[in-house]
Amino acid sequence: MDSVKHLARIDSLCSGDLAAEHGGPDVVLAGPGYCVVRLATSHETRTGDRAYRAEAVQDLHALKEHFTLLLDDRWGRQQVPWGMGTLVVRVERGEVIPEPWASMTALVDELSLWQPHDTDRWVALGVADRDPGDEIHLLALVTETDPP
């Protein structure tokens, strides 16, 4: 794990042109005013070994907590972890949820969320572990769209 590299990536998203972030090997989602990147990915958790997958989920949640502490030191204590359950229900009822928040409901159960000082952007961290046919990912989201 290279914390400095990952924090630099988050910083570049906070200060750079999000519209230019549509490519690259770490980009998961991108669109007007937002970008979601992979900070870390599990390895070989698609094999069906539930114990190994559960351990990898715990590891990536621990890594998320590590970054949460680093970002809390930088921007102040995060808002209360934001559960995505309410947004899932709102989507199911047909409410239009703006991107990237709508897409994040399919990927993560909870986000840690900050609004960095002197920016109009939001930063969120989440662990994407819902799809047993995919690896587990620690995701960082930077967006200009306020949470719904």
Task: Assess whether pLDDT exceeds 60 at residue 115.
Answer: yes
Rg over CA atoms, the chain: 15
Between the CA of residue 14 and those of 17, 71, 74, 120, 139, what are the distances in Å?
Answer: 9, 13, 13, 9, 15
Least confident of 72-81, 107-116, 118-127: 72-81
Task: Assess whether pLDDT exceeds 80 at residue 63.
Answer: yes
Position 3 scores a pLDDT of 84
Task: Work out the angle at residue 8's Cα, subtended by the Cα atoms of residues 7 and 13, and round it to the nearest 5 degrees.
Answer: 100
Task: Assess whether pLDDT exceeds 60 at residue 1.
Answer: no
Question: Does the reported pTM lie above 0.75?
Answer: yes
Position 15 scores a pLDDT of 85
Kindly give, in sequence order, each residue whose CB lies less than 8 Å from that of residue 62, ignoring residues fewer than 6 positions away.
none
Task: Assess whether pLDDT exceeds 70 at residue 22.
Answer: no
For the segment 61-87, the average pLDDT, to the nearest whole number, is 86
Task: Assess whether pLDDT exceeds 90 at residue 80.
Answer: no
Instruction: Give CA–CA dist 3/63, Å, rounded.
Output: 10
